[in-house]
Amino acid sequence: GENVEQHPSTLSVQEGDSAVIKCTYSDSASNYFPWYKQELGKRPQLIIDIRSNVGEKKDQRIAVTLNKTAKHFSLHITETQPEDSAVYFCAAPISGNTPLVFGKGTRLSVIA
């Protein structure tokens, strides 16, 4: 089955700096790669996703890049703000199925 590794587990950045979180996956048939943000005490919510037919997707300060050959994808947050502080999860689907396998999460702290 799918295995998703996420690094780093914690990340601290100064406000205004960039943050990068990386994930690797094992199943070469995986075709959809979402990123979720979970604020303290709240449910995970999708912030950006990418399908396997594109290499990069941007949405304002957030971008995701995908390297299918190397089987890894990354979340990039530019011009970080204190409200970006949260736990971020990457995920990939079990091959051909709908359940998502999640990474263990990255706790991002943006220091003002």
Binding footprint of another protein on the chain (CB under 8 A) = 1, 6, 9, 31-32, 34, 42-46, 49, 51, 89, 91, 93, 96-105
**DSSP labels, 68-83:** TTTTEEEEEE-S--GG
CA distance 12 to 31: 30
Q: Nearer Cβ to another protein, position 37 or 74?
A: 37
Can you say how many angstroms the Cα of residue 86 is from the centroid of all Cα atoms in its chain?
A: 12
How far apart are CB 49 and another protein at their closest, in Å? 7
How far apart are CB 44 and another protein at their closest, in Å? 5
How far apart are CB 112 and another protein at their closest, in Å? 25
Q: Nearer Cβ to another protein, position 14 or 96?
A: 96
Q: Nearer Cβ to another protein, position 73 or 89?
A: 89
Residue 26: phi and psi, rounded to 5, are: -105, -30
Q: Cis omega before residue 8 (within 30°)?
A: yes
